[in-house]
Amino acid sequence: MQISDATDTETTMATPEKTPNQLKERTDIRNVAIIAHVDHGKTTLVDGLLKQSRIFRENQQVGELIMDSNDQERERGITILAKNTAVNYHDTKINIIDTPGHADFGGEVERVLNMADGCILLVDAAEGPMPQTRFVLQRALELNLKPIVVINKIDRKDARIDQVVEWTQDLFLELAKSDEQLDFPVLFAIGREGVAMRNPDDERVSLEPLFETILNTIPAPKVDMDSPFQMLVTALDYDDYKGKYAIGRITRGRITPNSSVARITRDGDISRQKVNLVFTNRGLQRIEIDEAQAGDIIAVTGISDANIGETLADPEQPEALPTIAISEPTLKMTFGVNTSPFAGREGKYPTSRQLRARLYRELEVNVSLRVEDGNSPDEFVVSGRGELHLSVLIESMRREGYEFQVSRPEVITRQDEHGHTFEPFEHLVIDTKDEYIGALTEVLATRKAQLSNMASDGYGNVRIEYKVPTRGLIGFRNSFLTLTKGNGAMSSMLIGFEPWLGKMGTTRMGVLMASELGTAVIYGLNNAQQRGDTFIEPGTHVYEGMIIGLNTRPMDMVVNVCKEKQKTNIRSSTSDISVRLTPPILMSLEQSLDFINNDELVEVTPKNIRLRKRYLTQNERSRARED
C-alpha cells in the first residue's frame, strides 16, 4: 500500500481510510527501486548489493550483470525488463527493483514503481542528469517515493562531482512537489568496485553506507494487515513447471497457498480463481512461503489468465485497485506475413494466424505496446515507445522462429478539435567533441531540430541540447555514429506533442536492387560495386526486388548480381580469382529499420535480415507510382 509519508495515513489506492492505530509499520522490510539513465550503473550496483549481502556461496561463480538474465540484455548491455530481487541486512529484508534506463522502456519503469516506498537515483559523475534521469525521477516523485541520490562512477577521469551534485539539486528543485522531497541524502559510489561513501574522499571499503542509508531513509511500509486481501499485478513471469507467475505488492491483508481470490480485469469483470503457491524473493531465487502479508512483494501461481494492471482481491470483497497509467506510444510500424520468394524457407511460424497470436500475446507483458489489425488480414499495426522498443520485440520474435516483414517506423500523430495535426517532440542531448558540432548542426537542421542549449567543459568536450520532432530522429542514430566517428553519446526523451512542422528535408541516395532470382557471384558484385556500396557477399541468395546495395546517385537502379562472365579461350575461367571486392556493409536490425524508405520493407527470418522493395517487380512499382 502506498503511503504518502510517515504521518499521513491516506492511501493512493481505492481502500477504506484507516486510522493510525489500524496501520502497522513493517520495520522488517524495505521496498526500494533503483532508477537512472541508461549506462549509469544500476545493474552493476545491484550486483554489488547481492554479493555483499552474502546470498551466494563462497565458491559460487556468479559473474557480472547478474540481473540481466535475458539474452538481448547481455548482448546489448542494457536492462530491458524490470526485475526484483531481495537481500537481508541486519534482520531487515530489502526488496530491490532493478529498472531499465533507456527511454524506450519507460513503461517498464512506470508499472513497477508503485511497488516501492523509496528509490535510489543513480547519476553518472561525468554525464550528470540525462533525459531519462528526469523522466524516472519525475515518476518517482509523483508517487511520493523517498529518494536517495548516489553519484556513481566517481573514479572516471572526466568526473565532475561537484558540478553533477549541483545539476542534480537543480533537477529536484524543478520537479519536487513538496519541501520534503528536497531533503535527500547524497552518497558517492564506484559500483564496479562495490563501494559507497558519504563523502568522495572517504575510505573505499564496501556498500555498507548505502545499506545503512536505505534502512534510515526509505520508510518502512505502513500497512493494513487485517483488511481483506488486495494486490495489483505489476509483472508476469512463466516457467514450464509452475506456469504463469502473477507478481505484485500486497496492498492490504494476507494471502496463503490454496486461497480463493477474485480476479478483477481492467474492464471490471470479476472471476473467482484459486492461488496455488505463494513465492517471495531471496536473492535470485523464488522461495515458496506459507503466508505473505501486506507490504510484501510476492509471486503467485494458479492464475493462468492474469494480466498486468489487474487486481487480485478477497472474493468476498472484490475491490479493484487503480490500473497502471502508462504513457502512450509515439512510433508505429506494420508487421506483415513474409511475401518474398523465400517465404516459408527459414522460419517455423510464417502464417498470419501465428503472427497475430504472438503479437497479441506480447500485450500481456509489454504494457507500452499497442497492436491493431491492419488494412489486410495479413498485416498488423504495432505501436511502441521508440525504435529500440520495437526492434527488441522484432529480435525476440525472430529468435523464437517467426518469419515476417516490417515497414519503416512512422510517428503517431494527433488531431485537435479544429483538425490541426500535432506530432511528438523529444528533448535530445548529445555529448561529443567540439570538432563535430558543425556537421551535427547541419544534419539536425534538415531534421527540424531547434538548438536549446550548448555547454563546453573547456577540454574539447561539449554537450548540445535540441528540441526535435520524433520523426527527425528516425534514422539519425546511424548518421550520428558516422559524423562523430563513434566519439559521442546521444539520448532523447519525449516532452510532448506540438504542431506538425511540415515536410522534412532528410534524403537518402537510391538503392541497388537485384534483377532476378539466383545466387550473387563475384563478377556480378564487382559490376554492382562500380555503381555503389553493396550489402551482400558472394554466394548470397537473392531475388528480384531485393535491395543489395546503396547507389551513389539519387535514383534506384536494377543490377544483375547473378551474372557470370562468359568464358572464352581468351578469357580464362580462373581470371576472377584476382578480383578484389570491397567488403560489404553488413547492417544490424536497427540499422536496417533506419535505412529503409516508405516504399521498402525489412524481411526478418531466424537466419537472415534482408532489405527489399515493397513491390518486387518493375511492373508492380510502376503501377504503384501511377496510383
Q: Are strands 404-406 and 331-337 parallel, antiparallel or unpaired?
A: antiparallel
Is 44 annotated for ligand binding? yes
Q: What cell does 286 get?
A: 523464488
Q: Looking at residue 405, what DSSP letter applies?
A: E
pLDDT score at 598: 87
Is 152 annotated for ligand binding? yes
Question: Running along the chain, 627 residues long, what does each successive block of 10 average in pLDDT?
Answer: 33 43 80 84 81 57 48 56 78 85 64 86 89 83 90 89 92 88 91 89 89 91 88 83 87 92 89 92 84 91 86 90 79 93 91 93 82 90 86 90 93 88 90 88 90 83 90 82 80 86 78 92 90 92 93 91 73 58 87 88 93 90 79
| Contacts for 108 with CB less than 8 Å, ≥ 6 apart | 80, 81, 82, 99, 100, 367, 368
Element (H, E) at 626: helix 618-626
pLDDT score at 173: 92
Record the pTM: 0.77
Q: Are 204 and 196 in contact (CB under 8 A)?
A: no
CA distances from 99 to 68, 84, 110 (A): 10, 9, 9
Is 568 annotated for ligand binding? no
DSSP assignment of 48-66? HHHHHTT-S-TT----S-T
Taking the CA of residue 253 as centre, how many other CA atoms within 13 Å lie in the half-sphere pointing to its CB? 20
Is 222 annotated for ligand binding? no
User: Helix and strand tally (H, E) in the chain?
Assistant: 14, 37
Topology of domain 230-313, per CATH? Elongation Factor Tu (Ef-tu); domain 3 (2.40.30)
Element (H, E) at 519: strand 518-519
What is the 3-state composition of the chain as percent helix, strand, coil, each rounded to the nearest 5? 25, 30, 45
Measured in degrees and rounded to the nearest 5, phi and psi for residue 334 equal: -100, 125
Is 597 annotated for ligand binding? no
Question: Helix/strand/coil (H, E, C) string of 349-382?
Answer: ECCHHHHHHHHHHHCCCCCCCEEEECCCCCEEEE
| Contacts for 296 with CB less than 8 Å, ≥ 6 apart | 29, 249, 250, 280
Is 40 annotated for ligand binding? yes
Taking the CA of residue 254 as centre, how many other CA atoms within 13 Å lie in the half-sphere pointing to its CB? 9
CATH number assigned to the domain covering 414-499: 3.30.70.240
Rounded to an integer, what distance in angstroms lies between the CA atom of residue 361 and that of residue 46? 30
DSSP assignment of 76-100? HTS--S-EEEEEEETTEEEEEEE--
Q: Are 394 and 386 in contact (CB under 8 A)?
A: no
Where are the chain's structural domains? 27-220, 230-313, 414-499
Q: Are 407 and 599 in contact (CB under 8 A)?
A: no
**Between the CA atoms of 62, 64, 68 and 69, what dihedral angle is there, to the nearest 10 degrees?**
-30
Q: Is the dihedral of CA 59, 61, 65, 70 positive or negative?
A: negative
DSSP assignment of 430-494? EEEEGGGHHHHHHHHHHTT-EEEEEEE-SSSEEEEEEEEEHHHHTTHHHHHHHHTTT-EEEEEEE
CA distances from 295 to 151, 283, 564, 589, 605 (A): 29, 18, 72, 42, 45
| Contacts for 156 with CB less than 8 Å, ≥ 6 apart | 124, 125, 126
Helix (H, G, I), strand (E, B) or coil at 108: helix
Domain 27-220 has CATH 3.40.50.300: yes
pLDDT score at 188: 94
pLDDT score at 613: 93
Is 276 annotated for ligand binding? no
Q: Are 604 and 406 in contact (CB under 8 A)?
A: yes
Nearest to 125 by CA among 19, 60, 39: 39
Is 213 annotated for ligand binding? no
DSSP assignment of 177-211? SSGGGG---EEEEEGGGTEEESSTTS----SHHHH
